[in-house]
Structure 1
């Protein structure tokens, strides 16, 4: 019996197992196509970007650990890596770009001067692949971010520079969505804050609100672009106070009809973003997710299938929120094969959503509403040992991508043939 036959046989057995709990695995395999994940381009090159040939991380609270060989040195190599990643993933994904990844033709184009033409190559690339794009203003790694403040800076020239940058990024995002026929999400995150005691928190937050109001003044059709704002508990060099806190941005999002971006690495280690999803969606139309793995604090490790990621996925599926939650990844690890990091992290996220879809929700909810809490807990535990892996392998088989551990050999070959020769 060959591997394909083994996968199909295992799937038939798993289908009967889940059918006993009222779960239709065939429907789940089909519904997984609704889970589109926006891959973060910056994993390919450690958030360096291509503004200039010697681009390295500068000011603004971003730090990547490791120096594994094979880092993408230019946009062609980045696209090559992204194509390889997507060839190993079931389903259809999106791509999330930062503003420092434009095609600037070897010229230094400062961020308050970027235009659609610098990203038309990415739009054409995405169109050829039938995928959508998302976008981010890059308010870090720049001399005008070195003192720790951008949109909340008390230096008016600096503040105006970053307002103009965000304005231009939003215009580029809207054009991406228009040309690709899929709304592009523009996300605003800034590193602003103080390393130590700060007496004028209010002054900086008032300036941030003013800057956002100015940057968001022009409304774009929602079928082209959506605005998101992203909070953080703290950042490198902003350990004492972060201007764009969760309270600030949640209030701003609710008042101004923006998406709130929930990055599960941006909260206190005991907070659960899965618990925040249904809370925020009572008051905002949509939520943007940045899925990562914080180890102790915000360390942006590669996503794995753990309880935290599972709760996020389960909350979305249990409440039929897929059409209201935009799913993206945000981690950067240069200590291991970067393509492998992408594939492991994306597959883990997809697997969490599949496990959530395989849950016998109707039975569990009935137990809950009738006070049968032992039965609810027991069934949740029983489902952990059901043959989820067989359904996952079948989904990969249907999508003509490597099942089980076969992707490891594919990435090892790519490392030998491509990455180590850069």
Structure 2
């Protein structure tokens, strides 16, 4: 049977439960995923005085073909985008600016250093998001930045974040879609601190200074990202979930949840509905922790499906800004982007194809038998036939055919670097 024939047959199964499959696909088309550029070069960036990774971040593996300049990275991203259904966004870090061989300190970065990225984004009709880079730098070697006890160091990073917000604003003005500019810092202590409050007070004061200038949210949206622990900050992280949740709510900023930044038994999916009661929007960085914040390529596991379900069944597709954050150098990097992003989209489609109103009604009625039975039966519904049709309609490879294209790209492009 053809993809279309399989789709029509599968659609009948879903329609028996009142699921409008065509409507689900139309909704899915409108959801952009913010794809992180740093998978393509192992978070190296293009600074002239490039530094070793620090801040509790590690990328393992040495698969051949890593992008070593902006043109290569953009080419690799283009290849990945050609294999992923839908229209998406690209998320940049400050270290991906282009300075024409000039050493530019991070507190002096300007929109002009990202002009090539903007022109490229215009060419492809996509939006850009941004992140200041508060790691892999001599002024972050001791694991402290915005919460540093030294005022000169704090002020340096404050200036960097202010400059980053102006770059986000530039993206929004040029591309006609607001940039999400997200602040994450590595600050913390390896062993038990003797004072938890003072560093948090310094961080609060630093953020207040960074956000002092108002920027129109039609150009730039500010977000802050928490973390539970990291390498070098096992005992204490200044920017905890509670700290940033409180700061975001009080100061009308987005709280960004990274799925790898919590206790191993703590899940982000369970936080989404609670936070949406008090926030108009929230943001995600979707990763896959394996025993720690190890940023594996996301797979279509239970938690990813639950994240998709929480977004869809709570009518929050336009309230949750979905970004990705994983980096694996042990496999083909274009394949990593493709696998992870397609899985994120699959989780949303899976959720859109559930009879969510019926399942909610079962719960309200206390009919937990039917609720569980239906949840389980839908796991083996012909979801794949709907996904294949969506890919075909969006003119990207169906099933694993994308892998052949990646292998060809590796042979013709990546292997020659």
Q: TM-score, normalised by structure 1?
A: 0.98
Q: 2:73 aligns with which of 74, 78, 81?
A: 78
Question: What are the equivalent positions in structure 2 for 1:67-106 lying under 5 Å apart?
Answer: 67-106=62-101
Q: Secondary structure at the match of 1:106?
A: coil
Q: 1:37 aligns with which of 13, 33, 36?
A: 33
Cα distance between partner residues in 2 of 1:405 and 1:58: 34
Match of 2:250 in 1: 255
Instruction: State whether structure 2 residue 7 is matched by structure 1 residue 11.
Output: yes
Cα distance between partner residues in 1 of 2:53 and 2:385: 45
Instruction: State whether structure 2 residue 411 is matched by structure 1 residue 421.
Output: no
Cα distance between partner residues in 1 of 2:214 and 2:388: 44
Instruction: State whether structure 2 residue 291 is matched by structure 1 residue 301.
Output: no
- Is contact 1:57–1:63 with CA below 8 Å preserved after alignment? no
Question: What are the equivalent positions in structure 2 for 1:1-400 lying under 5 Å apart?
Answer: 6-52=2-48, 55-400=50-395
Cα distance between partner residues in 2 of 1:127 and 1:61: 34
Q: Secondary structure at the match of 2:180?
A: strand
Deviation string for 1:348-384 (max 9, x for gaps)? Answer: 0000000000000121111111111000000010111
Cα distance between partner residues in 2 of 1:202 and 1:192: 13
- Is contact 1:58–1:146 with CA below 8 Å preserved after alignment? no
Deviation at 1:282, TM superposition (A): 1.4
Cα distance between partner residues in 2 of 1:220 and 1:156: 25
Cα distance between partner residues in 1 of 2:360 and 2:186: 41
Deviation string for 1:289-333 (max 9, x for gaps)? Answer: 000100011100000001101111101100111111100000000
Deviation at 1:56, TM superposition (A): 4.5
Cα distance between partner residues in 2 of 1:64 and 1:57: 11
Cα distance between partner residues in 1 of 2:11 and 2:336: 30
Which range moved further: 141-150 or 279-288? Answer: 279-288
Deviation at 1:283, TM superposition (A): 1.5
Deviation string for 1:29-76 (max 9, x for gaps)? Answer: 1111122100100000000000027x3433322110011000000000
- Is contact 1:60–1:142 with CA below 8 Å preserved after alignment? no
Deviation at 1:399, TM superposition (A): 0.7
- Is contact 2:44–2:53 with CA below 8 Å preserved after alignment? no
Give the unaligned 5+ runs of structure 1: none
Q: Secondary structure at the match of 2:257?
A: strand
Cα distance between partner residues in 1 of 2:115 and 2:208: 27
Cα distance between partner residues in 2 of 1:41 and 1:120: 16
Deviation string for 1:141-163 (max 9, x for gaps)? Answer: 00000011000000111000000
Cα distance between partner residues in 2 of 1:33 and 1:106: 40
Q: TM-score, normalised by structure 2?
A: 0.99
Which range moved further: 160-169 or 405-414? Answer: 405-414
Number of residue pairs matched by the alignment? 417
Cα distance between partner residues in 1 of 2:52 and 2:360: 48
Which range moved further: 164-173 or 365-374? Answer: 365-374
Q: Secondary structure at the match of 2:108?
A: coil
Detail structure 1 runs of 4+ shifted over 6 Å in the superposition. Answer: none
Cα distance between partner residues in 1 of 2:281 and 2:360: 25
